Structure 1
Amino acid sequence: MKNLFLTVSLLGLITPAWAQQASGASPVLDVQHYEISAEVVPDKSFVKGEVKIRFVLLEDSVSLPFELNTRLSLLGVRDEEDVSYSTSFDNFESSRLRVRGSETFRKGTEKTLTFRFEGTLEKETYAFLDTPQAESAVIYPEGAILLSEGNWFPSHRLPLDAATATVKITVPLGFSVVAPGEMRSIETLGISEVFTWESGQLLTRIPVVVARFFRQKFEDSSIPLTFYVTEAFDRDLRPFVDEVTQMLEFFQSEYGPLPKEALNFVQVPNVRLPSTGCAGLILLESSLLQSPAIPIMELARRVARQWWGYSLRPGRSSDAWLQDGFATYAALRYFEVKHSDRFSTELAREAVSALKYESNAPVSKGLELQSGSAQYQSIVASKGAWILYMLGQLVGREQFDGMLGDWYRQKAQQTVNTSEFVAFIQERTGEDYRWFFVQWVDSVGVPEFRIDYTIYKLRDGGFKIRGQIKQNIELFRMPLEVRIETKGQPEDKELNVRGKSTAFTFPTETMPLRMELDPNGKVLSDSPRMRIAVHVALGEEYQALKEFLPAIREFEKATQLNPRTSIAHYRLGEVFFEQRNLSTAANSFRDALNGDRKPDWVETWIHIYLGKIYDVLGQRQRALAEYQKAVNTKVDYNSAQAEAQKYLKETYSSPQSVIG
């Protein structure tokens, strides 16, 4: 873990990123409305259409900037008087185009330009990687996923320049279209159907999904819910609906009414999405809908964006954490109130997620980190949520959560920036917390604490502890709790840590036994235990992508830090098993059994994997013994008991190899 910490802004040499305008020139236009009309042909991966963009000029300009997918052709641009305009594409960023007319575009003018476009948006294939890919604009025989990040229609500065939209999509009979807003009509034209959706609410993103959908409506909750699921979907949605209803009720109690009168959910294939919806619409991968257990954290995060991100909207790239950091914090609040037994676990997971990439960039890098990427999720969403959690510790949790609700209600349906939030916190608390935001939002690095101390016995019978708290960041500043374990009751103290070394002297009535820093986990910090968790998390990320070599390296780093880390040995065993390196896999699984056996499900699944290995090797009796050991643990994580029972009845056979 790097110890780099950028603090030049603390010295007053530069203005923090969150107090600056977005990088580059100020926007020259403000889009008011998109009117999109397109035909999607799934079996040819083809789209053809036009978009009318109504906008207001904010500055005089000789050209206007827009974006369009490089795989699409721009057929022409005309205005409301049918005057044609010339276009050119950027030599370095080929998705950027500029529109020029015969005269300068004048500030304050309202104008409408119509762009005609067409092209193929085929699904990219990767011969070397059988794993879900990031998809932002793709048309395939079963339908289409068309996200505004994929620039599938000419647009301007989405998601920062929000606008209303009308979307009219023509598809072959049998297909359905889901888009933002309310469905206004379905018109049949021969062997095609035209779906018209309209949103009067400002949109930061304009996703369109095409598939053979069945619609399931649930109107018995406080907010009507509609699910668009594919023909193959056969799960009972009621448990999902009940959890979503509970989320909506909680977030409304925290922040205010849902900005939409209804909420639509649409099933999409198992792809990595750069964004997951817009106002009134939430995208759900099939893996989330069909998961054995409801993925509460991710679902709560997506629901919370209806408030944080789609109603209260970030104004600049550096303000992206006002969406995803705040939505992640809101999801954690949901756990804290509704699933309190799991709150500490989810908070710790977000800490591990934050530490994975936090040294790469500050939170204020925002959208430059690419929405939906692993780095964005780590830095903007997870670290952003932890920033709010730590600020709550400084202000007082109950007071802070009330303040968040007040700020949302003041700023709902508006564009906001971090400077406004900093000023709001200062106004409500009477304290200047700019140092906190510079340290955590505009800088990289987290502290790694250690403590040195000496215990003295006093003549009056009491005790005194004198020592220093040390950490690795030069200009770090943060209150830190210290717990002194004694022969009597533990004593909690608080110390303002400043710089790399902070001296302290604490009196105690009974004999001290040990000292613990930050016992309640209020500060995002590094430690040997956290480094192990980060290496395991990174390894799991590579493992999910089937990038086995970097996965093995990360898991081995974890075992080097602590050879008794069972989860790292277990993950190594999984990787080797998938590579059919059975001998090495078995050794890794046995190393895991000789470790700390945490979490408890590891032992169960180790026995299942060892049983499978013995089955492949033709040692059925040894395999049966391992499956029985798995059953005896009585742990059923990820349907482990059903898996063990299955192979007690039938012999496991590995996927057939090239030699049969």
Structure 2
Amino acid sequence: MLLAATSARAQYAAQSGTPLVDVTGYVIDATVQPARHSLAATAQVTFTPTADLPTASFVLHDALRVQKVADASGNAIPGERGPNDTLLLTPATPLVKGQSYTWTFTYAGQLDGSATSGPVPGLTLAKIDADTSYLLYGGAWFPMDGYLTDRFTATLHITVPSGYTVVGSGAVAISKTDASGMREYDFAWTKPSFPGTILVGKWVDVPDPQAANIHLYVSPAHQKAAEGSYGTSALDEFAFFTSTFGEPPSNTLNIVELPNGTVPAYWAPGIAAIASAHIGGGNDARLLANTIAHQWWSAEVSPATLNDAWITNGMCTYAELLYLEYQDGEGALANAIQDVAAGALAYDTTPLTSAGRLGAFSPQFQSMTFEKGAMVFHMLRWVMGNDSFNKALQAVLTEYAGKDVSTAQFEKAAEAHTQQNLVPFFAEWLDGTGAPDFKTKWDVYRLGNGKGFRTVGAIEQQLDLLNMPVDVRIETQGKTVNHVVQVVGNSTPFDIETFGEPSRISIDPDWHVLKDTPDMQVRVDILRGQQKAAQGDVAGALAEYQAALKVNPQSSLASFRMGELLFAQHDYQAAVNAYRDALSGDNQPKWTEAWSHIEIGKIFDITGQRDRAVNEYRQALETHDNTSGAMNEARHDIQVPYKLPGAGS
């Protein structure tokens, strides 16, 4: 699942090796003034150089002006701003490898959410506002290094005006309001992790009545959802992951509503922050599950470098799917895995073990580490079997608790829990790119004396080095037979006997293996189109949707997404044409029918054709498909004519 997408330059330098500065701890005193959008802070940073260095480099949000940097003796350390929000500091004497240093940074500035500032251009990760303020770890609101890989402890003293609540990682103590109307929240996280996120707001605090350790901090608009199904999902997911992975780094979980306009979700130890648009909807529990899973697969065990981030990011996405399977069965997992496979193939041009050079917030890095990483775990589970797979995950969480783990270490742990040689598996899926497109040919022979039938054939695919077990399903009038064939190379024979005469043969019907089929290519093109549309690249998005329609002219989803894009551009006639194409297409997924009628109705309302609009809304109701609240939307629009956001009465 993508947590952010931007085509801008990489957020930080690629973490392909050991950072030159190993930060071990912070003590930060910060005052947040929401009405002024301002932050004033002093940060004591304790670090150890990993090599002899004449200078030290940290990342600090470029909207924050550094007033002074001093060493432990109070001596000023000169420095200058470098590219990409870096701060270059030159002490009087070179830093010595392995020696611990503590420097104090004094800085201040306004974090008003300007898209032109911050470590990831176009993506706001640190913003102070009158309603809700968020200082995400990735926003570099304090001097940092080794994003997602350099574990640290933190003691944070955050002062805010009375009336605001502050959420952070670790045990919290709250002072009384002082004479100036300010009060201090003190947080202490003593286990090395990533406790660098602070959230400030005027939320409703919704404690879970069944679990005192779970709190939901939401806006009044989402209080009902927090008290109902969304809160129930949070409790169930936290309990499921605890039973599956063991105790989390913190038994307290704060779920906090983020404003829209930043990432869809973010995590910190003891925190799952979710954007407003993703709270209370039909599929929002999946994003919540993915975010909660980071408590184990990021906060508890982290990647040694960003080249190893497929382990944690991929496992969080797969944990989301494991919960879906637990709730709704194997069929739900089989359906969902195809969407994940599309994400895995969207940017499959770089091996997973080289992903660190792409930048932590690039769409390529996100797609590869989250979606392809999840597919690696899904396939590994198929290869190892459930029991061995689960034992391997438990072993990694136990052995590397509070530490980082490398790909080589993970591979060793997996091999320790199976009798199989996993070198070919990891070489194919971690060090290579591409996915097979399985094809088959076969002949059926009748066996004598009423003994049934023999199907003799071969599985063919284009990857010469592939070595994977693949399920062959033969459907007969009597029963369905599943037979696992170890596919090696371009062509692998099979010989399967059945009692009934075969009527259909399917290769990997349950999607145990990542495949690049023509249908999957349509999904990939549509996904890339959605990502380009989110980045404002209209021409690029249209080109991707057109590529999908070239492969499958009947794709309702491709036509619907094209209609969405054209509607947003106010090209109403072209949008209606695209929605009509969706209605006359393959009706996959089914929800495109209801929503195409609704969107056409909205266009009729905008263009003053109310009777035609109502007719479309009624046709939407006739589908009885309430995906993403379609029925509720149609009923509302029948009663109240649709108007463009911001349009006058």
- Answering whether residue 590 of structure 2 is matched by residue 600 of structure 1, we say yes
Contact 1:607/1:629 (<8 A) preserved: yes
1:549-579 deviations in whole A, cap 9, x for unaligned? 3332222222222222222223323333333
How many corresponding residue pairs?
628
Contact 2:65/2:109 (<8 A) preserved: yes
Match of 1:470 among 417, 442, 460: 460
Match of 1:482 among 457, 460, 472: 472
Q: Normalising by the residue count of structure 1, what TM-score does the alignment of the two structures yield? A: 0.87
Match of 2:308 among 319, 338, 346: 319
- Answering whether residue 16 of structure 2 is matched by residue 23 of structure 1, we say yes
1:400 is aligned to 389
Contact 2:375/2:514 (<8 A) preserved: yes
- Per mean C-alpha deviation after superposition, the further-off stretch among 327-336 and 61-70 is 61-70
1:228-276 deviations in whole A, cap 9, x for unaligned? 3346654341222221111121111111122213111222111332971
Deviation at 1:525, TM superposition (A): 0.6
**Identity percentage of aligned residues:** 30
Alignment of 1:164-313 (within 5 A): 164-189=153-178, 190-218=180-208, 220-221=210-211, 224-230=213-219, 233-238=222-227, 239-273=229-263, 276-289=266-279, 291-293=280-282, 295-313=284-302
Contact 1:136/1:274 (<8 A) preserved: no
Distance 2:525 2:255 in 1: 34
Distance 1:306 1:384 in 2: 17
Residue 195 of structure 1 aligns with an amino acid whose one-letter code is Y
Match of 1:561 among 543, 551, 563: 551
Deviation at 1:75, TM superposition (A): 2.4
1:62-120 deviations in whole A, cap 9, x for unaligned? 33332222333322222222223233444xx3433343333343344333111122233
Contact 1:240/1:294 (<8 A) preserved: no
1:572-626 deviations in whole A, cap 9, x for unaligned? 2333333333333333233222222232232223333333444455554444433
2:399 is aligned to 410
Deviation at 1:280, TM superposition (A): 0.9
- Answering whether residue 112 of structure 2 is matched by residue 119 of structure 1, we say no
Secondary structure, aligned partner of 2:295: coil
1:585 is aligned to 575
Distance 1:510 1:261 in 2: 55
Match of 2:429 among 440, 458, 461: 440
Secondary structure, aligned partner of 2:420: coil
Distance 1:330 1:404 in 2: 11
Residue 324 of structure 1 aligns with an amino acid whose one-letter code is N
Distance 1:422 1:591 in 2: 48
Distance 2:322 2:534 in 1: 28
Contact 2:189/2:195 (<8 A) preserved: no
- Answering whether residue 544 of structure 2 is matched by residue 551 of structure 1, we say no
Contact 2:64/2:110 (<8 A) preserved: yes
Distance 1:647 1:108 in 2: 66
Match of 2:67 among 67, 75, 78: 75
Secondary structure, aligned partner of 1:161: coil
Residue 412 of structure 2 aligns with an amino acid whose one-letter code is A
1:12 is aligned to none
Distance 2:60 2:611 in 1: 62
Contact 1:211/1:230 (<8 A) preserved: no
| Structure 1 unmatched runs, 5+ | 1-20, 127-131
Residue 68 of structure 2 aligns with an amino acid whose one-letter code is G
Deviation at 1:515, TM superposition (A): 2.3
Distance 2:34 2:123 in 1: 19
Distance 1:347 1:521 in 2: 7
Aligned residues: CA RMSD: 2.9
Q: Relative to 1, partners in 2 of residues 1:511 and 1:407: Cα closer, same or farther, differing over 3 Å?
A: same
Match of 1:571 among 550, 561, 570: 561
Distance 2:23 2:79 in 1: 19
Contact 1:483/1:516 (<8 A) preserved: yes
2:6 is aligned to none
Secondary structure, aligned partner of 1:260: coil
Distance 1:343 1:546 in 2: 32
Distance 2:434 2:549 in 1: 24
1:497 is aligned to 487
Residue 366 of structure 2 aligns with an amino acid whose one-letter code is Q
Distance 1:99 1:320 in 2: 29
2:8 is aligned to none
Deviation at 1:300, TM superposition (A): 0.7
Secondary structure, aligned partner of 2:510: coil
Residue 161 of structure 1 aligns with an amino acid whose one-letter code is D
